[in-house]
């Protein structure tokens, strides 16, 4: 049944040699890797306005300048990452750049920051999408968390089907959202030019300020905090640089063109929505009860998002409004797909470098890194549950990791170009390298400054949790690498080839003479050990006497050793016996054969094999001791529809 459900949700498995068929053309790569930065325009403007209205409506005059700063920063970061894509097309992105140029420690800091960012991308994107659904259907407010977790589950299932399949699914909502926003901006600005500017439903409301009379340093801090919140528009920009191997050839060039298209589109939509939000005089506040004139119950009724108010002002409350809301909710939820592609890819690279468990480097049935997808989904769903699906609370944990990776990546690229210039003599090539270095140097300076701003303005609002999480992940990855290195050194073979054991002592554990016992004795005898003995533990004198009689009646030509157990314990007497055998020679090997039942139902497992499992767990820690399980299939297991791979192969041929 589980296999059937898996096939319905995920699809049939793909052969490893079909990996090339999953490579993406640019038209599919854009919605897969760029849906996060494209969709963040739906809430980046809102985050700017939410912060500025903390001081009251008087400070909204700063909003255009904040938006301009965000646009400039986005353009610089896109240009900088185009250099990364061309210089490092292997797909490591910021992690590879920092590791190669600044050292492994810097690379691990980038990796930890990116993993935190990817988790937050899923949580924030899905929560923001559900916010827009609730803006259109307020009655869903009590079910916010359940709806969020449900969407995470759906995204997980879609991504487990593979990159190409998910790309086909996500392509049309992304392009429809882009078209819808561009039409919204064009119609809204057209109304302004025609002398009939749209007006938001909240234009006549007032906002009760939390801080009054801000001037000087306080105003500067408010502006910087608004800028830091608006920088959420940059989240996910680096995902294309991490996913270059998923592009069709020429990979680097196709990735660079996709990044340029993403940057131009995101800037156009963000600038247009911000302009319309200011023109329509949208009013929003972190606390709904601070909105003077809000018509509903501020303690329970949600306020509409900025994009919802702009769409209502431009299109009215008809089909245009609901279409924009549906597309916005859909793209925001699907924006989490950027993380569902970036996190598993990064996890596989880190696992290959032995900084994460090796299971994250394993591809699933559909050639996706399914273990990474599942880990990401579980952590993101946990965050959504912990923060009640609140975008305002979750967003405070956002973008700190983004700008940490941005800054270290650009610093690494500057060093990369310095090394390239040191060995280059062609004037034309040197000119190109100089230009690339300037782009990355400007990017490093700007993103470093923004990192400081974000850290200062968001630290007390929840960003301190990210400051804690990144070092913890860094330490965890170093510990995992140390473990793998230690195990690798321990398993390194000694010089001189394979050392054969001097003697092999075979021990077959028996409780009574039955078919599993006879099978285990036959298998042990077939290996031709130096010594062979059957061992039983004397729990009951009557049982021992019965066993001795059965042994004699069968004329089994194997000595039967009875271990005394005055306290009716099985494990320790067997362990002591094995230790005595092992002590007969420093190069001797003891092989313990354990007959085990193979059952067909989970509840039958509770009724059998318990003593064998406990004994096996203890024997595995003994040096120069091997444990051999001898299975005996009970009748219930023979009715299970186990697949015979040999027969299946014959049928296919």
- Please name the residue that has the structure tokens 């259109």: 136
Q: Can you give the pLDDT at residue 70?
A: 92
So what's the pLDDT on residue 21?
52
C-alpha distance from residue 287 to each of 43, 54, 70, 329, 508 (Å): 16, 10, 25, 22, 73
Asked if 191 and 43 touch (Cβ cutoff 8 Å), the reply is no
State the 10-residue block means of pLDDT for the chain, 653 residues long: 58 56 75 79 85 81 91 90 83 82 91 88 85 80 89 85 63 88 94 92 85 74 85 80 79 89 92 93 86 81 85 86 85 79 85 89 72 91 87 72 86 91 86 89 88 80 80 94 90 74 90 89 92 90 88 88 84 89 85 87 73 85 89 77 47 42
Parse the chain into domains and list their residue ranges.
20-483, 504-652
Write b or e for each residue in 33-42: b if 16 or more Cβ atoms lie within 10 A of its Cβ, otherwise e.
Answer: bbbbbbbbbb
- What's the CA gap between 37 and 43, in Å, rounded? 11
Distance CA 56, CA 208 (A): 6
* Contact assessment for residue 398 and residue 231, using Cβ atoms and an 8 Å cutoff: no
Q: DSSP letters of 354-365? A: TSS-GGGG---T
Which string of b and e fits 516-543 if b means at least 16 CB within 10 Å? bbebbbeebeeeebeebbbbbbbbeeee
Beta bridge partners of 247: 24
How many Cα neighbours within 13 Å face the side chain of 648? 5
Picking from 585, 592, 545, 543, the residue whose alpha carbon sits closest to that of residue 571 is 592
Q: What Cα–Cα distance (Å) separates residue 563 from each residue in 127, 538, 596?
A: 64, 6, 20
Structure-token pair, residue 199: 């007006």
Alpha-carbon distance values, 385 to 135, 204, 378, 379, 477 (Å): 20, 35, 11, 10, 26
Core vs surface per residue 256-280: b (16+ CB within 10 A) or e = bbbbebbbebbbbbbbbbbbbbbbb
Angle at 92 between CA 111 and CA 351, to 5 degrees: 65
Which residues have CB under 8 Å from 75's CB, separation 6+? 263, 267
CA 245, CA 255: separation in Å to the nearest integer? 9
Q: Which of 264, 259, 326 is nearest to 42 (CA)?
A: 326
Question: Phi/psi of residue 571, each to 5°?
Answer: -65, -55
In order of 331, 463, 542, the CA distances from 267 in angstroms are 17, 26, 86
Strand order from edge to edge, sheet including 531-538? 560-564, 531-538, 504-509, 589-598, 625-633
Q: Are 73 and 269 in contact (CB under 8 A)?
A: no
pLDDT value of residue 650: 44
- Phi, psi (deg, nearest 5) at residue 460: -80, -5
Going by C-beta distance under 8 Å and a sequence separation of 6 or more, which residues neighbour residue 325? 132, 133, 135, 136, 308, 311
Q: Which CATH number fits domain 20-483: 3.40.50.720, 1.20.1740.10, 1.10.1060.10, 2.30.42.10?
A: 1.20.1740.10
Element (H, E) at 319: helix 319-334
Measure the CA–CA gap between 336 and 152, rounded to whole angstroms. Answer: 8
Helix or strand holding residue 583 (H, E): none
Given this model, what pLDDT does residue 648 score?
44
Residue 405, C-beta contacts closer than 8 angstroms, at least 6 positions apart: 94, 95, 98, 110, 113, 114, 117, 238
- State the DSSP string of 280-305: TT----SSGGGEET--S-TTTSPPPP
Judging by DSSP bridges, how do beta strands 206-207 and 291-292 pair with one another? antiparallel
- Which ranges constitute the DSSP H helices of 93-242? 93-102, 104-136, 144-160, 163-193, 216-230, 239-242
Strand partners, 631: 596
Residue 14, token pair as written in the block = 């793909």
Q: What confidence score (pLDDT) does residue 213 get? A: 67
| 289's tokens | 């009860």
Please report, in angstroms and rounded to a whole number, the separation of the first and last CA atoms in the chain: 27
CATH superfamily of the 504-652 domain: HUPs (3.40.50.620)
Q: How far apart, in whole angstroms, are the C-alpha atoms of residue 405 and residue 652?
A: 49
The pLDDT tens digits of the residues spanning 220-238 come to 888 888 888 888 888 778 7
For the chain, what is the radius of gyration of the CA atoms?
32
């Amino acid at each position: 049944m589980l296999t059937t459900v898996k096939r319905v949700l995920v699809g049939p498995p793909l052969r490893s040699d079909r990996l090339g068929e999953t490579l993406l053309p640019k038209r599919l790569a854009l919605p897969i890797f760029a849906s996060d930065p494209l969709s963040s325009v739906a809430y980046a403007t809102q985050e700017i306005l939410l912060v500025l209205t903390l001081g009251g409506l008087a400070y909204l005059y700063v909003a255009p300048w904040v938006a301009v700063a965000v646009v400039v920063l986005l353009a610089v970061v896109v240009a900088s990452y185009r250099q990364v894509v061309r210089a490092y097309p292997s797909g490591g992105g910021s992690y590879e750049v920092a590791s190669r140029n600044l050292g492994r420690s810097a690379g691990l800091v980038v990796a930890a920051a990116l993993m935190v960012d990817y988790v937050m991308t899923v949580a924030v994107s899905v929560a923001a999408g559900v916010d827009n659904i609730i803006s259109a259907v307020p009655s869903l407010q009590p079910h916010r968390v359940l709806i969020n977790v449900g969407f995470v589950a759906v995204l997980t299932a879609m991504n487990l089907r593979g990159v190409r399949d998910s790309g086909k699914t996500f392509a049309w909502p992304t392009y429809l959202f882009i078209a819808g926003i561009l039409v919204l901006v064009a119609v809204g600005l057209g109304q302004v030019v025609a002398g009939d500017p749209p007006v938001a439903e909240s234009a006549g409301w007032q906002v009760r300020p939390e801080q009054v009379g801000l001037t000087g340093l306080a105003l500067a801090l408010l502006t910087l905090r608004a800028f830091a919140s608006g920088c959420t528009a940059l989240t996910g920009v680096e995902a294309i640089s991490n996913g270059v191997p998923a592009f069709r050839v020429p990979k680097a060039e196709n990735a660079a063109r996709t990044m340029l298209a993403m940057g131009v589109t995101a800037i156009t939509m963000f600038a247009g929505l911000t302009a319309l939000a200011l023109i329509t005089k949208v009013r929003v506040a972190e606390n709904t009860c601070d909105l003077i004139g809000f018509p509903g119950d501020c303690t329970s009724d949600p306020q509409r998002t900025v994009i919802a108010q702009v769409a209502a002002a431009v299109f009215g409350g008809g089909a245009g409004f609901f279409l924009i809301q549906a597309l916005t909710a859909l793209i925001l939820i699907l924006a989490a797909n950027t993380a569902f592609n970036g996190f598993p890819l990064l996890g596989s690279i880190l696992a290959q470098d032995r900084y994460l468990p090796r299971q994250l480097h394993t591809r699933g049935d559909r050639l996706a890194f399914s273990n990474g997808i599942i880990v990401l989904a579980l952590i993101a769903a946990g965050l959504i549950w912990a923060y009640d699906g609140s975008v305002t609370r979750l967003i405070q944990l956002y973008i700190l990791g983004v700008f940490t990776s941005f800054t270290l990546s650009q610093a690494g690229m500057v060093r990369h170009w310095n090394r390239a210039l040191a060995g280059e003599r062609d004037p034309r090539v040197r000119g190109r390298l100089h230009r690339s270095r300037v782009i990355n140097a400007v990017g490093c300076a700007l993103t470093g400054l923004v990192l400081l701003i974000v850290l200062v303005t968001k630290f007390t609002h929840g960003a301190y949790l990210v400051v804690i999480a990144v070092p913890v992940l860094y330490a965890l990855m170093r510990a995992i690498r140390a473990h793998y290195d230690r195990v690798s050194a321990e398993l390194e073979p000694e010089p001189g080839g394979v050392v054969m054991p001097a003697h092999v002592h075979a021990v077959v554990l028996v409780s009574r003479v039955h078919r599993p016992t006879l099978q285990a004795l036959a298998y042990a005898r077939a290996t031709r050990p130096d010594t062979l003995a059957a061992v039983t533990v004397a729990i009951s004198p009557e049982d021992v006497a019965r066993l001795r009689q059965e042994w004699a009646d069968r004329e089994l030509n194997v000595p039967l050793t009875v271990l005394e157990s005055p306290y009716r314990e099985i494990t320790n007497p067997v362990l002591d016996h094995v230790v005595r055998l092992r002590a007969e020679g420093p190069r001797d090997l003891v092989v313990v054969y354990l007959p085990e039942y193979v059952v067909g139902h989970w509840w039958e497992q509770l009724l059998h094999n318990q003593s064998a499992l406990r004994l096996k767990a203890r024997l595995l820690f003994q040096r120069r001791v091997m444990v051999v399980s001898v299975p005996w299939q009970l009748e219930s297991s023979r009715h299970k529809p186990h697949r015979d791979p040999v027969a299946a192969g014959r049928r296919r041929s």
